[in-house]
Structures are given as C-alpha cells and as structure tokens.
Amino acid sequence: MSGSDTASDDTSVGATSDGPPRALPLHGVVVVDLGQIYLGPYATFLMAKAGATVIKVEPPAGEPARRRSTVGRGASLPFCMLNANKRCVTINLKTERGRDLLLRLVRRADVLIENFAPGVLDRLGVGWPVLRAMNPRLIYASGTGFGLSGPDREQLAMDLTIQAASGAMSVTGFADGGPLKSGVAFADIISGVHLYGAVVTALFDRERSGQGRLVEVAMLEAVFPTLASNLGMLYSSGGKGAARTGNRHGGLSVAPYNVYSCADGHVALICQLESHWRGLTDAMGRPDLATDSRFSDNARRVANMDETDAVVAAWTATKSRKQLAELSVEYKFICSPVRELPEVVNDRHMHERGMLEWIDHPELGRVVLPGSPLRFHGSMREPAIPSESLGASNTAIFGEMLELDREELSRLAAEGVI
Amino acid sequence: MSGSDTASDDTSVGATSDGPPRALPLHGVVVVDLGQIYLGPYATFLMAKAGATVIKVEPPAGEPARRRSTVGRGASLPFCMLNANKRCVTINLKTERGRDLLLRLVRRADVLIENFAPGVLDRLGVGWPVLRAMNPRLIYASGTGFGLSGPDREQLAMDLTIQAASGAMSVTGFADGGPLKSGVAFADIISGVHLYGAVVTALFDRERSGQGRLVEVAMLEAVFPTLASNLGMLYSSGGKGAARTGNRHGGLSVAPYNVYSCADGHVALICQLESHWRGLTDAMGRPDLATDSRFSDNARRVANMDETDAVVAAWTATKSRKQLAELSVEYKFICSPVRELPEVVNDRHMHERGMLEWIDHPELGRVVLPGSPLRFHGSMREPAIPSESLGASNTAIFGEMLELDREELSRLAAEGVI
C-alpha cells in the first residue's frame, strides 16, 4: 500500500471507504519510460500516480525538457510537474552496453513507452519486434505526431505544429484576426492521456489473453475529436469552411455562450439548457426575457445572437466576478470567472481535494504540483515525490533490480554508458 | 471478433500481424452509458471502438446534444461523431419503472458512466452506493466540472466555463487583447479521455482484485496539466502572473516558436533541439545564423526572440506552405501548414490510416467520421456504425437482454417509461 500518509478519498458522496484502503490500481506494474518533453512523460506520470513503478530512462545529458533549464529556472517547472513520482536513470542507447541495459530492464517490465519519431528505436536495434520476441507480455506504447504509418509518418511534430496541422488553430481567435494557437499545450497532454488509456487497455487485455501488444497514439488523431462543434459548422456551411468565432460557440449553435466583461474582469457564461436561460433571466430580474420571442428558446437566441449577447453583457457589466459566480449557483446557470494563473495555483477547491499540493522541491524551492486527474475511490492518493535529478536512481535500479555490482556501475559511468 | 471486414493494422512498423487478428481489447465488456453532450459520450465512444458493448441510455426526449439538432442539421454532427458504434435506448429515470430498468441493465454491466452534476443519480435513488450493493464488480465512473467533493462541487460547468476557471483562457490570445478560449472543445474531450483511462484502469484492477470501484474525473483538474509551460512562466515571474503570448511558447522558453506568414497562408514552426535550428538555417541557405552569437543556442534565441522571429519570418514569406512542409522533412526542422478544416477532413494521411472514414449517415448524408485515436495493433479496427436514432435499440436491448416481452415494451412506451 503506497501513500498511506495521505487522507483517504472518503469525503465525496458514495466513497468506498467502508473497508481498509485498497492498493492503487496499477500497483506492481513496471514501466520503462523513454518519454520526453510532455507527451510520453504525462502518460507515465498518470501511471506513477496510479501506483505503477516508473523507471524514467534519459540519455546521459538528460531529455530535452530537463535541458530546457538552461533558459531559466522556470523552464524546469514543467519537467518537475510531469516527472514527479518516477525513478530517473540514464542510459546511452547509442552504445551496445547501453542497449543491453535497456533490454535487461525490458525483460522485467510490463510496459515500455516512447515518443521518439517513428523508427528511432528500430534503427537502434531495440524496436518492438526485438523487444516483443524477448518479452511477449510487453506492452509497447508509441506516441508520435502523425503515427507509425501513412504518408506523413516522417513529419516531425510538437504541440504547436499539431495545433496547426489539426485545424485547431484555424478556428481559434477572431474572424478578423489570424489563426491562433491555444495558449496551453493541450495537444501534447491530450495525446499523453490517450496513450495512457491505450496502455492500460492493453494491460487489461493481457490479463485475459496473456499477450502484450503494440499500442499507438498519433497527436494529430488525438486532437481531431476536439473539433466536434467546429465540424458541425463546417457541415452546415456545405463544407466550405468554419469561421473563427472568438469566444462564441465553435458551431455557433448555443447562445448565450461567450466571455462577458464584468465590473472587475471577465466571466464566461453559457446557457446549455432552457432551464439555465430561465435561471439567468431570473437572476437578472428580467423573467420577461425568457418568454420574449427573440430569446424564448436556443434556436431563437442563436438567430438573435448579437442581441442575446448585448442583454447579457449589459447586466454582467454591473456585477463583480464573485457576485456572478454566486448568482450562477443560486439561479442554476453556468458561469465562471476568467481566472488568472495565480488564482488557479492557489485554488482552495483543488487544494482541498488533494489535486494541488505545495511541496519543497530540491531544485525549485516551494512550488505547487498537481496530482493525477484520475481519482480512484477506495485507495489513498499518491503524494508528490519531487522529480529526481539526472540519473539519481542509477545505483538503485541498475544495482538492485539488474544486480550490477558497484564496480561495474562505475565502469559504465566512466565509459559514458550511463 | 468484430470489424472483420476492415483492413488489419499491419502497415506500420512492427505490427503484430503474424498471427490471426485478435479480438479488440474491450471485447465482452458491457457499458451502461448515461453520458451527455461531449465528456461522457467521448469516453464511451473510445470504449465502443475498443470493442465494448455500449448501451447509451437517454431520456425519452433525447440527451441535450441530440436535441441541439433543432438549431440546424450541422448541430447534429457532434452527436453523430461521438455516438457512433453504440446502441441507443431510452429510459425515463424519473419513473419508478424506469429506474428499475436501469438497475436491471446495471446488474448485467461492467461499467456505468455518467456526467451529470454531482448527486443527480443519488437523488434519484440510483447512485453509486445503491448500484454497488447490487453489483460489487461494477465500475461507476463520474465526470463532472469540479468533482464530487470540495467547496466548488455544486458549480455547473461546460467546456467554455472550465476554460475560464482553469486559467487556460487567461493565457490564450495576445498580450494586448482580452482573454480568449481555444476554438476547440478541448476541455470536454480531454476530460472524456481521462475518464476513459480511469475506467479501464479500474477494469484492469478488477481482473486482479475482483472488485469494482467508483472512479472520478473533474474537468477542472483534467485541464490543469495543459498549463505546464505557462506555469513555468508564472514561476519565473515570481508568481505574479503569466502573460498571453499569442503564438509564442507559453513559457517564452523556446525560439523560434511561432506562426509565420508565408506566400499562401501561414505555417507553425518550432526548433526544439539545436539540430532543428541547424536544419532550418541550412534550409534557409544561412548556415551562418547557426553560429551567429545572437542565435547560436536556444537560450540566446530566447533572449533575442524578436530578431529570431524576424529572420525566420523574412524567409517564410518567400515560400509556399507546401514548400516549407517539404523542406522541414528534408532538413529536419519542425513545421506545419496552418490547415483549414476542409483540408483536415480530407487529409489523405488520416484516411489512409483509417482514422477518418466517409460514411452515409441516415440523417446527415455523406459525412466524415473519426475512428478512435487509440490504435491496438494486432486487432482489426472497428468500422463506423452510424449513431442510432432515439431509442432505436429499445426492443433489442430491453427485449433480448432483459427479456421483456413485446406487450410489456408497448406498455412501457405508452406510459412514458421508455
């Protein structure tokens, strides 16, 4: 049982806390993690937090996200976030003995995960066919920009270029401006969690079939489903295109749906159901708007979107963010302040739920780290263990797990193998 | 074995096509799907495509995403996308007999998934404690905006308001503009795939422990990890805030990293590694820039970001999107055209990989539907089965699975129970 010093998740409705806490669900699963930057590391972060033993394998110079620290300390924060609760070792896969070390780890592993460009491990002689022959129960997980097959397979990719290639950028921003990326790295993270899902699905399958598999996620494909509303608009337009709609609904089929100025900032507000609109108009003291023929159902409000936005905006301008948030709970419409990051990292709600933790990180000092968004009731949450320094677990993993003696470890280090 | 009429995934490197195709990994898993709009339906879409039997339960008037069709046919497309390959039944959970039908389904199910506001099913008398007592092997999955516990539990949420509450909106757009949402519904979809991951993890655990669980994902928490780069910048600023950086890196710690105009549109371009910068400067015919003291490593390029962007932009302006994409493959830097949605839905690459399919949908006509981003090598892909009309499987599921006779079904329909 891990994480036994944290509170059990027994505060929420229907928690299963009537017995002793159960082990985290991936307890005992061993993951060899060749992930780098965000995609692979996020997938294995979720595994570590779900109880797996994650051995993060980096080249002796560190993976690119670790090396970003040369730009400034803040650039290290993402690395620390996504690599908490892992064991860090170094292996130079360009050496014969390095590859041998990897093979020895893989023999003892359930999962190998990598997000190199397609074919990188094959060219090093440690691709899926080789690893599988050695360990038929292995789940081999590949995360790439465009996938392991298809005409665009060789195209390199990062979050930014996938936002461009997927069409997401073409529908972000305003109609009179240029294409714009989402300010957050959602393409990387959404791909990482898809890869997590693929791996765990294959682990479930292995319990029944006894066999491992190759599983694969392409970033381009993982982003596609986020276009749902925009594709609706494309369809409506006869396939000609979808507009950038600013803060309005991507399919322009819900109203009100926008960001509105208020007395001390902005709020996002939406009426998904007619009951939300009735709640909003009651909160405004304008129940007449709920039966006004311009606004009496969503189809009419969509047809009169500018007017709908205008009546909402005139009202929000008179209230504070806090007042609007409280009114939305009382009157049951959907509204949130547009929060800045300092508010988010200090969010009382996420701290109370154990999603955010203040920790003292040996390199960064006092920082907020997130836990896993996957909450398994009945088990304790895994508290944050700061990301390790480069190769910090070489002795523990190569020594204890692979039974190399101290002398051999020194020789491997001296020869640049680890 | 399902999907036996589609091509096996044997085109990619290392495919496991040397034996007969294996069943899809969730074959035999039965899911009762109370999901609505995007979050829940995306989680169960992934399950259906991974081989599970998904029984989508809607109120007799249809779930909100189905009802959006009143706005126009395009508004139905998201519903059709996310509800392919499911069986659609109707149950009025506000009736005693309706709840009884649900309980009978749950007795035969492995998973129940719902994304109502917290407590909705509890108040109807069919919450987790009740269902669990009846079926201790059940995985009960809850997707909500803020989670089942914590001070903000009662706040309603949709993709738009979670983009606001999570801080994502505060870092999207330009420094001199207001906060902006991402044009795609990434908060919904990223939460849906997290919920998928939680469910499958619990299924894996159940194979070992024999016990079901309550698993939970809060949208606010699922979005948090996408802030990684921006949190880096927040940290660098001493916690004061993170700027909106337009199309630049969210942490302003990588350069070049931007969207650049070209002869016929825009491209996104990034140099993550020094080798990418050398490749780019070679492609530009300007190898001198790679050793220029203003640009010779990422830290210097970050310090001289405006100049870095200017030299890149001056060059891209002279090339077409296609030329730049081809040069990026040849010279190994990272670049993609900013594509519009008509290009994306016709993308040869995703069609060749079987991710996108043209189908004739009974309501929408000829449309492109996506498959699952989760690719399980060794199994056939599940081809798209158009989303069913409201209650289309009532007879099949209630009649065959629950063994209700024709007369009883008619009575239930007449009484508004189904």
For residue A14, pLDDT beyond 50: no
| Same fold for the pair B30-225+347-414 and B257-340 | no
Whether domain B30-225+347-414 has CATH 3.40.1790.10: the reply is no
Q: For the ranges A59-68, A319-328, B26-35, which has the lowest average pLDDT?
A: A59-68
Q: Looking at residue B69, what is its pLDDT?
A: 72
pLDDT of B14 above 80: no
Beta strands in A23-130 (DSSP E): 30-33, 53-58, 87-90, 111-114
Q: For residues A260 and A344, what is the distance between their CA atoms, to the nearest angstrom?
A: 20
Tokens read off for B115: 């994304």
Residue pair B328/A156 in contact (Cβ under 8 Å)? The answer is yes
CA A82 to chain B, closest CA, distance in angstroms equals 8
Interface touch B158/A208, C-beta < 8 Å? no
* Dist CA B196 CA A195 (whole Å): 11
Say which CATH superfamily domain A257-339 falls into: formyl-coa transferase, domain 3 (3.30.1540.10)
Residue of A161, A272, A368 with shortest CB distance to B335: A161
CB contact under 8 A, B344 and A193: no
Inspect the interface and report whether the beta carbons of B229 and A185 lie closer than 8 Å: yes
- Per-residue pLDDT at A236 exceeds 90: no
DSSP at B72: -
> Looking at CA atoms only, how far is residue A259 from chain B in angstroms?
8
Residues of B in contact with A193 (CB under 8 A): 190, 193-194, 197, 222
Residue B402: name the closest of B21, B36, B57 by CA. Answer: B57
Tokens in use for A263?
């007395």
Tell the burial category of A410 from Cβ atoms under 10 Å away from its Cβ (0-12, 13-18, 19+): exposed
Q: Look at residue B12 and tell me whether its pLDDT is greater than 50.
A: no
Residue whose entry in the numeric block shows the structure tokens 């906060």: B179
Question: What is the pLDDT at residue B5?
Answer: 34
In angstroms, rounded to a whole number, what is the distance separating the alpha carbons of residues B160 and B144?
14
* Nearest by Cα to B279 from B229, B323, B329, B245: B329
**Is the ipTM here above 0.90?**
yes
- Measured CA to CA, the distance from residue B104 to residue B101 in angstroms comes to 5
Work out the minimum CA distance from B73 to partner chain A, whole angstroms: 7
Smallest CA–CA distance, residue B407 to chain A, in Å, is 35
CATH (residue range B257-340): 3.30.1540.10
For residue B37, the model assigns a pLDDT of 95
Phi and psi angles of residue A88, each rounded to the nearest 5 degrees, phi first: -105, 120
Q: Could you give the 3-state DSSP secondary structure of residue A200?
A: helix
Q: What are A183's two structure tokens? A: 């300010």
Interface test with B, best of A201, A257, A328 (most B CBs within 10 A): A201
In this prediction, residue A149 has a pLDDT band, given cuts at 50, 70 and 90, of very high
Contact flag A345-B231 (C-beta cutoff 8 Å): yes
The answer to whether B397 and B55 have CB atoms below 8 angstroms apart is yes
Chain A and chain B share a number of CB contacts under 8 A equal to: 584
From chain A, pick out residues whose CB is under 8 angstroms from the CB of B274: none
pLDDT of residue B252: 86
In chain B, the residue whose alpha carbon lies closest to the alpha carbon of A145 is B334
**Pairing of β A365-370 and β B53-58:** unpaired
Quote the CA–CA distance of B199 and B35 in Å, as a whole number: 14
Phi-psi region of B416 (alpha: psi -120 to 50; beta: other; left: phi over 0): left
Candidates A16, A275, A183, A5; CA nearest to B168 is A183
Which among A210, A66, A71 has a CA at the least distance from the CA of A135?
A210
Report how far apart, in Å, the C-alpha atoms of B96 and of each of A280, A390, B89, B415 are.
32, 60, 17, 12
Mean of pLDDT values over B111-116:
98
Least CB-CB distance to A183: which of B78, B205, B245?
B245
> Best mutation site among A16, A18, A181 for testing chain B: the one with the most B CBs within 10 Å?
A181
> For residues A40 and A47, what is the distance between their CA atoms, to the nearest angstrom?
11
pLDDT digits over B131-175, tens only? 999 999 999 999 999 999 999 999 999 999 999 999 999 999 998
Q: Which residues pair with B217 in a beta bridge?
A: B143
Which whole-number Å values give the CA distances from B393 to A19, B55, B386, B399, B401, in the listed order? 39, 9, 13, 9, 11
CB B180 within 8 A of CB A246: yes
Residues of chain B with pLDDT > 70, as a percent, come to: 94
Model pLDDT, residue A70:
67
pTM for this prediction? 0.95
Cβ atoms A36, A362 nearer than 8 A: no
Pairwise pLDDT comparison (B344 vs B240), residue with the higher score: B344
pLDDT tens for B270-290 read 998 899 999 999 999 999 999
Rounded mean pLDDT, B90-107: 98
Give the CA radius of gyration of chain A. Answer: 25
**Tens of pLDDT, residues A294-311:** 999 999 999 999 999 999
pLDDT for A250 equals 82
Asked if B77 and A235 come within 8 Å (Cβ–Cβ), the reply is: yes
pLDDT recorded at residue B240: 80
Of B77, B73, B148, nearest in space to B118 by CA: B148
Residue of B nearest to A157 (CA): B334
Q: From A233, which residue of chain B is nearest by alpha-carbon distance?
A: B74
Letter for the amino acid at B293? S
| Interface contact flag, A374 B198, Cβ < 8 Å | yes
* pLDDT recorded at residue A1: 29
Active site residue A188: yes
Nearest residue on chain B to A162, alpha-carbon basis: B336
pLDDT confidence band for B239 (50 / 70 / 90) = confident
Contact A198 B339 (CB under 8 A): no
Phi then psi dihedrals of residue A365, to 5 deg: 80, -145
Residue A18: what pLDDT? Answer: 58
Of the residues B47, B81, B181, B351, the best mutation for testing chain A's interface (the one with the most A CB atoms within 10 Å of its CB) is B181
Q: Which of A341, A350, A358 to mutate to test the interface with B (most CBs of B within 10 A)?
A: A341
Q: Nearest CA to CA, how far is A166 from chain B (Å)?
A: 6
| A238 interaction partners in chain B (CB closer than 8 Å) | none
CA A301 to chain centre: 35
Give percent of chain B above pLDDT 90.
87
Q: Name residue B267's amino acid.
A: V
Contact A129, B14 (CB under 8 A): yes
Every domain of chain A and the residues it spans? 30-225+347-414, 257-339
Whole-number Å distance between alpha carbons of B181 and A254: 15
Q: Tell me, what's the pLDDT at B70?
A: 67
Residue of A nearest to B38 (CA): A228
Could you tell me which chain A residue has the CA closest to the CA of B42? A225
Residues B9, B110, B188, B309: which is the catalytic one? Answer: B188
For B27, phi then psi, to 5°, come to -50, 130
Burial class (CB in 10 A: 0-12, 13-18, 19+), B251: buried
Query: Alpha-carbon distance B177 to A369, whole Å?
Result: 29
Place of tokens 């570590």: A48
Kindly tell me if the per-residue pLDDT of B191 is higher than 90: yes
Chain A partners of B273 at a C-beta cutoff of 8 Å? 64
- Rg of chain B over CA atoms, in angstroms? 25
How far is the C-alpha of A369 from the C-alpha of B402, rounded, in Å? 48
Tokens of B117: 């506001």
Q: Which of B72-86, B219-233, B347-361 has the lowest mean pLDDT?
A: B72-86
Region B323-348 average pLDDT: 96
Average pLDDT, chain A: 93
Q: How far is B56 from chain A (nearest CA, A)?
A: 19
Inform me whether the pLDDT recorded for A253 exceeds 90. Answer: no
The token pair at B42 is: 């995306």
Average pLDDT over residues A201-223: 98
* pLDDT over threshold 70, residue B213: yes
Number of other CB atoms surrounding residue A367 within 10 Å? 22
Q: Angle B297-B329-A225 (CA atoms, 0-180°, nearest 5)?
A: 100
How far apart CA A33 and CA A46 sit, in angstroms, is: 12
- Crossing angle between the packed helical segments B39-49 and B186-209, to the nearest 10 degrees: 50
pLDDT of A57 above 90: yes
In angstroms, the CA A125 to CA A116 distance is 14
In this predicted structure, what is the pLDDT of residue A37?
95
Under the phi-then-psi rule, with left for phi > 0, alpha for psi from -120 to 50, and beta for the rest, what region is A107?
alpha
Task: Provide, as residue numbers in chain B, all residues whose Cβ is less than 8 Å from the Cβ of A172.
Answer: 172, 180-184
Over residues A118-147, the pLDDT tens digits come to: 999 999 999 999 999 999 999 999 999 999
Contacts of B152 in chain A (CB under 8 A): 349
Point out the catalytic residue in the list A9, A33, A188, A309: A188
- In a 13 Å sphere around the CA of B336, the CA atoms on its Cβ side amount to 27
* pLDDT tens, residue by residue, B373-400: 999 999 999 999 999 999 999 999 999 9
How far apart are the C-alpha atoms of B350 and B41, rounded to whole Å?
22
Mean pLDDT of chain B: 93
